[in-house]
Amino acid sequence: MVDYFKGKRLDDITVRDVQTYHIAISQKLASSTANRHLMLLSTIYATARSWAVVPETCNPTAGVKQFKEPLKHLPQLKQADIAPLFKAMAQDPNQLAVSCIKVMLLTGARRSEAQGMLWTALDLAAGIWVIDKTKSGKTHVVQLNDAALAVLAAVPRTASPYVFPGHVDKNKPLHNPCKAFDRCLTKAGLPHMRLHSLRHAFCSFAVASGASLYAVQNLVGHSHVGTTTRYAAYDNQALRKATQLVSSVVNDAIEGFPAA
């Protein structure tokens, strides 16, 4: 980067200069690396503007789009993994973190949403959880299923406003359930997964069980159904079942048609 822009002032670098550099890095290394370079440039300009080194309008990175990066296919939680995972969770020493993990799986909630769950946001009698501000900035009402309600009913009630309070400061939410999740995965003999895989699993299980994409979209609070589509990873058995439905419709129609 230094060699490429050597001798140029920050306010002399144009959008075209940045685009050319971005493309050159992608051809030499990879699109993901080129995107990291672009992000670094953007940070440099943001810092320069905050220090009044360049005018507020100076940002040649703003007109450059990142390259699409190939998705990383990380391990995802499967139905067959549930039993060994729950067995391992029952033996984990941090049962509060375990309860938080279970809520994430049973509701499809994001990690930050589950960690920040407030007692005042819950109505266990009605079976709802109100998240005031989601990632999209909107209020989302989560419908709690029986398994999630059972987990929450078993969580000890403390003076903390949080359902899952921090270990040191009870007035702050649980800090890091990832450690407990990693321990349980290891004990269950499962590969390492991100906590976000629990949200993916919720959506995948719901769709595979027959829930519509629109229903799942509303269950997890996606702004657009296109986002939900990414979680609709049908296995071959589900696809075969779906196509067999069409076969049945056609066969029934043929059998019901009077012979010539």
In a domain, 17, yes or no: yes
The per-residue pLDDT for 13 is 93
Contact of 166 with 173, CB cutoff 8 Å: yes
Contact of 106 with 198, CB cutoff 8 Å: no
Q: Does residue 206 register a pLDDT over 90?
A: no
The answer to whether residues 97 and 167 belong to one domain is yes
The per-residue pLDDT for 71 is 54
Least confident piece of the model among 13-17, 37-41, 90-94, 248-252: 248-252
Where is the domain boundary, 70, 95, 124? 70
Q: Does residue 29 register a pLDDT over 50?
A: yes
The per-residue pLDDT for 178 is 93
CA distances from 175 to 92, 97, 101, 107, 170 (A): 17, 9, 13, 20, 11
The per-residue pLDDT for 164 is 95
The per-residue pLDDT for 118 is 95
The answer to whether residues 36 and 87 belong to one domain is no
- Residues ≥6 apart with Cβ < 8 Å to 234: 207, 208, 242
Domain interval for residue 115: 79-195
DSSP string, 69-101: -PPP------HHHHHHHHHHHHT-S-HHHHHHH
The answer to whether residues 155 and 183 belong to one domain is yes
Find the CATH number of the domain harbouring 91: 1.10.443.10
> What is the tens place of the pLDDT at every residue in 241-250?
655 666 676 6
SS3 state at 65 = coil
In a domain, 239, yes or no: no
In a domain, 249, yes or no: no
Contact of 97 with 174, CB cutoff 8 Å: yes
Query: What is the number of domains present in the chain?
Result: 2
The answer to whether residues 85 and 187 belong to one domain is yes
Where is the domain boundary, 136, 161, 195? 195
In a domain, 25, yes or no: yes
Residue type, 121: A
The answer to whether residues 62 and 93 belong to one domain is no
> What is the tens place of the pLDDT at every residue in 74-117?
788 888 899 999 999 999 999 999 999 999 998 888 899 999 99
The per-residue pLDDT for 94 is 96
Q: Is the dihedral of CA 251, 257, 258, 260 positive or negative?
A: negative
Average of pLDDT values for 33-47?
91
The per-residue pLDDT for 220 is 65
> What is the tens place of the pLDDT at every residue in 58-83?
999 998 998 887 656 678 888 889 99
In a domain, 95, yes or no: yes
Where is the domain boundary, 70, 97, 129? 70
Q: Does residue 230 register a pLDDT over 60?
A: no
> What is the tens place of the pLDDT at every residue in 122-165?
999 988 888 886 666 678 888 888 999 999 999 999 999 999 99
